[in-house]
Structure 1
Amino acid sequence: MSARRQPTGKMRTHASRAIWRPALILLGGLHVNCILPANAPAQSSPVATLTARGRYDTHIAEAAKRFRLPPTWIRAVLGAESAGDQRATSRKGAMGLMQIVPETWSDLRVRYQLGSDPYDPHDNIIAGSAYTVRAKKSEPFGAKQTLPMPIIRKAQAA
């Protein structure tokens, strides 16, 4: 004989569980915060680096106007690719704020009369924006152009 619970007449719905889930997560976070030492060093986040975006606003505005892209897109790509680090280099060799790979940089630098330094913020943002437009135009069947939500949220938070 298996032990079976007798129905109580109350049905737990998915909605009732959904109400408790955030509370349990918050309580779990409080528990973890109590265990960790109070003097734990803070870690910098990519979003924190983006708050100093004023350094690149003129370049972003120029690229947005030149390539008819929303400045939010450019900021989002910049934030997702390099977290605002002008000297960022990926394991695969992508360079600068917009993480342009060397072959693409060579092509875009000639096409848009850019300088020789792929880490120059102005030139890198122009090249990255040009590449974004090129990728946008190559979407199959004219798909609606949007950026992934995490990238958009990072840009809006900055």
Structure 2
Amino acid sequence: MAEDAAGTPIFSDVRSSDTFRLYLRTDDLPATSPAKGVAPQRLAAGMRRFSADIAEVAMQNQLEPELLHALIQVESGYDPGAVSRAGAVGLMQLMPDTARRYGARDRRDPRENLRAGARYLRDLMQRFSGNLTLALAAYNAGEGAVVHHGLQIPAFEETRSYVPAVLRRYHRLKQSASG
């Protein structure tokens, strides 16, 4: 980002002047992520809009709100209407079977989606003995894929970029919250 003579911000992916400064790094998002390239203002607005609901479901499921924020940023960029090519919908990108399993009738409803997605992530954390890396891999690729690959991150390009992307955002959010 740079500013013109009037102080208006100029956003670009190319360093255009000595006053240029990095505003948002998106290289930590998987190429297939709906949140890839989401405007930072939209992420900030989404954080504000859904923060109370995220804090509530995080507490109910013994998860950290920063983890849910990180997952949502990568999954949907806080867009309750986001739909993936695979048919996942909403803030936490729930597949139809997962939504049914956790009682979310309207996957586009932010509260239903958050409740179901947080419960699913909590259950994955329990299933994989608190191993966040495996829980995130299972959230992205499915529980069966993680088990089939010997309790490792499956060798799917999307999953191999997804897990570190969520973890990086999670750690950044934790640092911001503590500092």
Give TM-score scaled by structure 2 length.
0.55
Q: Does 1:151 align with 2:169?
A: yes
Whichever of the two has the greater Rg, that structure is: 1
Tell me, in whole angstroms, the C-alpha distance in 1 between the residues paired with 2:85 and 2:75.
13
Q: How does 1:24-63 map to 2 (within 5 A)?
A: 30=15, 33=16, 45=38, 47-52=40-45, 53-63=47-57
Aligned residues: 113
Residues 122/47 of structure 1: CA separation in 2 closer, same or farther (3 Å cut): same
Secondary structure of the 1:51 match is helix
- 1:47 CA displacement: 3.9
Tell me, in whole angstroms, the C-alpha distance in 1 between the residues paired with 2:38 and 2:172.
11
Q: Does 1:79 align with 2:57?
A: no
Tell me, in whole angstroms, the C-alpha distance in 2 between the residues paired with 1:88 and 1:152.
21
Q: Does 1:138 align with 2:127?
A: yes
Matched AA of 1:129: A
Matched AA of 2:169: I
Secondary structure of the 1:65 match is helix
Per-residue CA distance 1:119-154 (angstroms, 9 max, x = gap): 101110111101111111121xx3543673333256
1:124 to 113, 132, 138: 113
Tell me, in whole angstroms, the C-alpha distance in 2 between the residues paired with 1:49 and 1:129.
22
Ranked by relative contact order (alpha carbons within 8 Å, sequence separation 6 or more), the top structure is: 1
Per-residue CA distance 1:92-124 (angstroms, 9 max, x = gap): 100100000001101101xxxx5x211101110
Residues 45/135 of structure 1: CA separation in 2 closer, same or farther (3 Å cut): same
1:101 to 91, 95, 99: 95
Tell me, in whole angstroms, the C-alpha distance in 2 between the residues paired with 1:135 and 1:100.
14
Matched AA of 2:41: A
- 1:75 CA displacement: 0.5
Tell me, in whole angstroms, the C-alpha distance in 2 between the residues paired with 1:155 and 1:49.
16
Instruction: Check the 8 A contact 2:76/2:82 in 1, yes or no.
Output: yes
CA RMSD in angstroms comes to 2.7
Structure 2 residues not aligned, in runs of 5+: 1-13, 18-36, 134-162
Instruction: Check the 8 A contact 1:47/1:79 in 2, yes or no.
Output: no
Residues 71/119 of structure 1: CA separation in 2 closer, same or farther (3 Å cut): same
Identical-pair percentage: 30
Instruction: Check the 8 A contact 1:72/1:155 in 2, yes or no.
Output: yes
